[in-house]
Structure 1
């Protein structure tokens, strides 16, 4: 008789896998693999680009809306994650041409909260 054990990934394990995918620019795959159904996505109050989205469908649409407006990628880089408790953060910089905004450079810190092996919130600081 074999016993199947469902193990929940630790924050460190989620961060490591997140990094593997981020280094390949596989952001929608990150959402599919880790985002909880009730995930929250929060941009700064002063953001010209986005605000708040809640729920996997709304957060996915927020990402799709941003990607659909990118006309050219001049460069993008994501740092290795730093883990603390149930959180991890990465630095991200992008140099992109965006419809309606022209060429912009975004330097940000992305903070993720993990619960039971799933990302329950993402916050962007820029």
Structure 2
């Protein structure tokens, strides 16, 4: 698959809430995932660490209230999209909103890097 095809498939699967399928079908086993340092998440290396981070995220979230992802924009071996989410975190009364840019790098037909750019909120750091 081309970078554009991978980008479109990733966006479509995310829009359908099929994040596990994204990992299994589109990500390389050596995937690296980066978040803003001040957000409290560490950089993960490999599928096991990525899946553990996903489990931690699901354990934090009580309910996803809104979710949207833009169409992808691809260039060479990279693509990006904007992801917005409104979630109810466990232990918090008010919903939290995320608005982030997601950058992906593709090599040999698989995503080898995902990096997220956003301003962490207080709930994420505590």
Q: What TM-score results when the alignment is normalised by the length of structure 2?
A: 0.87
Query: Which among 76, 83, 87 is matched to residue 74 of structure 2?
Result: 83
Q: Distance in 2 between matches of 1:32 and 1:100?
A: 31
Residue equivalent to 1:99 = 90
C-alpha distance in 2, partners of 1:99/1:52? 23
Task: Give the 3 Å change call, closer, same or farther, for CA 16–99 of structure 1 in structure 2.
Answer: same
Listed as ranges, the gaps of 5+ residues in structure 1 are 1-8
Give the superposition deviation at 1:53. 0.6
Aligned length: 117
The corresponding residue for 1:33 is: 25
Name the structure 2 match of 1:6: none
Q: Verify: 1:72 aligned to 2:63, yes or no.
A: yes
Is 1:121 the counterpart of 2:109 in the alignment?
A: no
Q: How far apart in 2 are the matches of 1:58 and 1:42?
A: 12
Runs of 4+ in 1 over 2 A off after TM superposition: 99-103
TM-score of the superposed pair, with normalisation by structure 1: 0.87
RMSD over equivalenced CA pairs, Å: 1.3
More helix by percentage: 2
1:53-104: CA deviation from partner (whole Å, max 9, x where unpaired): 1001101110121012211211111111010110011100111011255521
- 3-state DSSP of counterpart to 2:37: coil
Q: What is the aligned counterpart of 2:35 among 29, 32, 43?
A: 43
Determine the C-alpha separation between the residues in 2 that align with 1:101 and 1:90.
Answer: 28
Distance 1:41 1:25 in 2: 19
